[in-house]
Amino acid sequence: MHNGTPTSNGVGRPTLEAVARVAGVSRATVSRVINGSPKVSPEVVDAVEKAIGELNYVPNRAARSLVARSTMAIALVVPEDAHRFFGDPYFADVVQGISDRLDESEYVLSLQLAHPRQPSDKVRRYLLGGNVDGALVVSHHSGDHFLASLGAALPVVFGGRPLGELADPAGWYVDVDNRHGGEVATERLVSIGRRRIATITGPPDMPAAVDREQGWREALSRAGLDAGRLAHGDFTEAGGVRAALALLDDHPDLDAIFVASDLMASGVLLALRERGLRVPDDVAIVGFDNSPYATRGPVGLTTIAQPSKQMGVVMADLLLRRLAGEPVDTVTLLETSLVVRESA
């Protein structure tokens, strides 16, 4: 074990390497102890904890909680109501990926559904009261004031590019290339001869909706087509029905729609059937997600596949590595792909 005087980085703030030197172990071993790994012997844990105490090493919340032991819990924060969370297969895939990754660790997952704008005091107290070591945030909206401050209290990884107050340049997030997916979806409609191409977006305060709409606009611009046929949806089937009926009222000449989610697209198909329009003969449709909704109806849905389960795996992995004190990239972008079926 180390017998000399404890040292740090020379500027008054001890480092992970200094802790490792004092404890007589590797930097990786210190990270494993901070992360609560069961693969470290009690003697090594004691040595690392003693070194942390000597140096007053406080790298992050995980280390600060070492004296009282980590909670070994991670919160999944979803600013949506229960109906939307349990009704959209996207969330099931993301949670499955998170669960698969956490199964390889000692952490447990705590689900917190919160109001999109104002979480309850109970949720606030739970997240900020030392009950979890970190948080994963999915389906966030711009203007989520509480989430904007959560990262100052906990290690946080977002699923999706943060917008507005959440767009901290030092923030960590995992996303799919939504803009490119919107481009590819629209290019598919152009390639089959459609010229009056509308879109139904998600809520304008959500990054996925903004980026998919931007991809639609860019593809239409390159094709020299008008981008005036647009309606906002809410990523629900009922919202898809409402938006499609509004579009058809305002633009009865449209011949294609790029819909920002498969769940909304299933509502669009219902609206088109109600108006006596055939898919794809009268109106071609491309969705987004490649969820079970893409194949459950009489017409298979051409859609953009996104790796939702992989997103969950990567989000959880990044957070675990942050809790272990490891350096990780702040932004991870996953690819999308086109899946062609009967609707376009």
**pLDDT tens digit sequence for 319-342:** 999 998 888 888 999 999 999 999
Q: Of 8-12, 20-24, 79-83, 245-249, where does the model show the most confidence?
A: 245-249
Looking at the structure of the chain, the number of domains it has is 3
pLDDT at 144: 63
Cα–Cα distance measured from residue 96 to residue 21, given in angstroms and rounded to the nearest whole number: 39
Report whether 154 contacts 127 (CB < 8 A). Answer: yes
pLDDT digits (tens, 9 = 90+) for 148-192: 667 777 899 999 887 764 555 557 899 999 999 999 999 999 999
Is 163 within the bounds of a domain? Answer: yes
Q: Is the pTM of this model over 0.85?
A: no
Residues 131 and 192 in one domain: no
Same-domain check for residues 171 and 202: no
> What is the residue-averaged pLDDT of the chain?
86
Question: Are 117 and 78 in a shared domain?
Answer: yes
Any domain includes 4 = no
Q: Are 263 and 291 in contact (CB under 8 A)?
A: yes
Of 41 and 145, the structure prediction assigns the larger pLDDT to 41
Angle between helices 16-23 and 42-55 (to 10 degrees): 120
Q: Determine the average pLDDT of the residues in 49-75.
A: 68
Q: What is the pLDDT of residues 250-295, one digit of tens each?
A: 999 999 999 999 999 999 999 999 999 999 999 999 999 999 999 9
| Maximum mean pLDDT: which of 10-24, 111-125, 157-171, 206-220 | 206-220
Angle at 241 between CA 237 and CA 243, to 5 degrees: 110
Show the tokens assigned to 61: 């919340």
Report the share of the chain in percent with pLDDT over 70.
85
Q: Which pLDDT score, from 0 to 100, does residue 237 have?
A: 94
Same structural domain for residues 55 and 81?
no
Q: What is the CATH number of the domain that holds 217?
A: 3.40.50.2300
> Which tokens in the block code for residue 178?
């939504």
Enter the DSSP assignment of 254: -
Banded model confidence at residue 70, pLDDT cuts 50, 70, 90: confident
Tell me, what's the pLDDT at 325? 87
Name the residue with tokens 């990239």: 329
Q: How far apart are CA 291 and CA 88, in angstroms?
A: 9
Residue 6 falls inside a structural domain: no
Residue 6: the pLDDT is: 41
**Domain range for 22:** 16-64
- pLDDT of res. 337: 97
327 shares its domain with 184: no
Domain identity same for 139 and 257: no
- Mark which of 31, 64, 97 sits at the end of a domain: 64
With beta carbons less than 8 A apart as the criterion, state whether 112 and 75 touch: yes
Asked, for residue 11, whether it belongs to a domain, the answer is: no
- Residue 252 belongs to some domain of the structure: yes
Concatenating the DSSP letter of every residue in 176-236 gives E-HHHHHHHHHHHHHHTT--SEEEEE--TTSHHHHHHHHHHHHHHHHHT-----EEE--SS
Flag the least confident range among 35-39, 135-139, 234-238, 286-290.
Answer: 35-39
Q: List, in sequence order, the alpha helices (H) in the chain.
A: 16-23, 27-34, 42-55, 61-64, 82-87, 89-102, 121-128, 145-153, 178-191, 207-223, 237-250, 262-274, 308-323
Ranking 111-125, 147-161, 236-250 by mean pLDDT, the lowest is 111-125
At residue 64 the predicted structure's pLDDT band, cuts being 50, 70 and 90, is very low
- CATH number, position 21: 1.10.260.40
Do residues 162 and 132 both lie within one domain?
A: yes
- Highest mean pLDDT among 27-36, 85-94, 225-234 belongs to 225-234
If asked whether residues 42 and 132 sit together in one domain, one would say no
Please work out, in degrees rounded to the nearest 5, the angle formed at the alpha carbon of residue 241 by the alpha carbons of 236 and 244: 115
CA atoms within 13 A on the CB side of 66: 27
pLDDT tens digits, residue range 210-225? 999 999 999 999 999 9
Q: Residue 8 domain-assigned? A: no
In a domain, 187, yes or no: yes
